[in-house]
Structure 1
Amino acid sequence: MSKEFIFILSLFLSIGISAQEFKFEKEIINYGKIKKGEDGKRIFEFTNIGKAPLIIEDIKTSCDCAVPKKPDQPIMPGEKATITVEYDTSNSGGFSKEIIIFSNAKESRKRIKIKGYITK
């Protein structure tokens, strides 16, 4: 086989491997109005709608006040999984925070959001 054919074949295989996708039940969770010190834990549920295992490599937030927890294992096609976000509710006022998910999906960076208002 020629080197060009092997290169093209490997390119198609790598594209096929990274063609996973995931669909969230909700991409924005609105806490609404909550009291200072209340439970700030919320859960994003999603499904791997791709044809290969989905691997969540990392999750970043726009501040240290929101702590995400990613799935430890790959999510198989058709499986549901969750990402838990715990927001620090010790400060009052409005908030809107972005959570960025890094994965092997077709869209390698996925953005979801939490928002709400903490009363005194």
Structure 2
Amino acid sequence: MKRVFYLASVAALIGFSACNQAEKNPEEPAISTDVINIPSDEDNEEAAKQLAAFEFENIVYEFGEITQGEKVQTTFKFTNSGESDLIISDAKGSCGCTVPIYPKNPIAPGETGEIEVVFDSEGKMGQQNKTVTLIANTKPNTTVLALKGNVLTPETK
């Protein structure tokens, strides 16, 4: 009984320590959260107007019908229509098949940027609705982009 308890404790300790280790890419620049100041609801409206803001040409990309295994690539273009530098701190796809590439440097007011997204349909079939969630110094601080379409299974001979 002691042996089982000891092994379970060691396994739990290893599992918890592995969960706390975040993977870091040394090539990616670290963005300090000190530069992000999002006013709370109690702050005045003037402070909220000074935030960065996304203005996308489109937030939904409809790729139509593709055959299973094809990759779809699109670019979401945006302008920082706010009054301060726009900093995107993270961009995550709804699954591993949807991979976003986003600018790591601040986007000045009036400047443009692009979010490139690649959807890999390998192993997918039917109607697909995939999303990319951006986290930035905007209000609200999350923006969701979408890819929609239909994946057809290849015909077998």
Q: TM-score, normalised by structure 2?
A: 0.63
What letter corresponds to residue 147 of structure 2 in structure 1?
Answer: I
Question: Structure 1 residue 106: deviation in Å?
Answer: 2.0
What letter corresponds to residue 48 of structure 1 in structure 2?
Answer: N
- Unpaired runs of at least 5, structure 1: 1-10
Report what 2:63 is aligned to: 31
Match of 1:69 among 97, 101, 109: 101
Change (3 A) 1:106 1:18: farther
Task: Report how many aligned residue pairs link the two structures.
Answer: 108
Is 1:109 aligned with 2:150?
A: no
- Unpaired runs of at least 5, structure 2: 1-42
Task: Tell me which protein shows more strand as a share of its residues.
Answer: 1
Report what 2:32 is aligned to: none
Task: Tell me which protein shows more helix as a share of its residues.
Answer: 2
Q: TM-score, normalised by structure 1?
A: 0.80
Larger Rg: 2
Paired with 1:87 and 1:22, the residues of 2 have a C-alpha distance of: 22
The alignment-based identity, stated in percent, is: 34
Q: Name the SS for the 1:111 alignment partner.
A: strand
Question: Structure 1 residue 16: deviation in Å?
Answer: 5.6
Q: Is the 8 A contact 1:55 1:74 kept in 2?
A: yes
